[in-house]
Amino acid sequence: KNQVEQSPQSLIILEGKNCTLQCNYTVSPFSNLRWYKQDTGRGPVSLTIMTFSENTKSNGRYTATLDADTKQSSLHITASQLSDSASYICVVSALDGGGTSYGKLTFGQGTILTVHP
C-alpha cells in the first residue's frame, strides 16, 4: 500500500530560526514528490516538485531534498517568518503501468509549523 509519513506532527519555533521537516514514503513506482504549504482554511499551494533524478530544489527560503534510495525527503526552512506558520504537506505520485504519472497522489498527514515572535 502506498503511504507517506511525515514527522514531526507539529513543531514550534522562534522567528528567525531554521527548521527541517521530514517525509518518508513507500509509494512505488515513484514519479515525483511535492511539498505544499497550506494556510489554515485555505487550499494547499505548491512549494517544490522533484522527480527521481533531482535531489535538491529551492524556492526562496524553502529547500527540499530527496533521497530516492532511502525514500526520504526533507523540507528545510531558513530564517523563519511569522507567515511560515502553516501546515506543510508532502505528496508523492506514482507512475501508472504505462510509465506515465496518472495524477493520483498520496498525501502525508502534514506537519503543523507554528512560528512565534
Partner 1 sequence: DGGITQSPKYLFRKEGQNVTLSCEQNLNHDAMYWYRQDPGQGLRLIYYSQIVNDFQKGDIAEGYSVSREKKESFPLTVTSAQKNPTAFYLCASSAFAGDVVGYTFGSGTRLTVV
Backbone angles phi, psi at 84, to 5 degrees: -80, -10
**How far is the first Cα of the chain from the last one, in angstroms, to the nearest whole number?**
41
Pick from 86, 89, 113, 115 the residue near partner 1 by CB under 8 A: 89
Query: Collapsing DSSP states into helix, strand and coil, what is residue 66?
Result: strand
Per-residue contact string for residues 97-116; x = within reach of partner 1 by CB under 8 A: ---xxxxxxxxxxx------
Q: Which of residues 32-71 bind partner 1 (CB under 8 A)?
A: 32, 34, 36, 41-46, 49, 51
C-alpha pair distances (Å), 97 with each of 18, 23, 30, 31, 91: 40, 25, 12, 12, 20
Name the residue nearer to partner 1 (CB basis): 78 or 106. Answer: 106
Name the residue nearer to partner 1 (CB basis): 59 or 106. Answer: 106
The footprint of partner 1 (CB under 8 A) covers: 4, 9, 31-32, 34, 36, 41-46, 49, 51, 89, 93, 96, 100-110
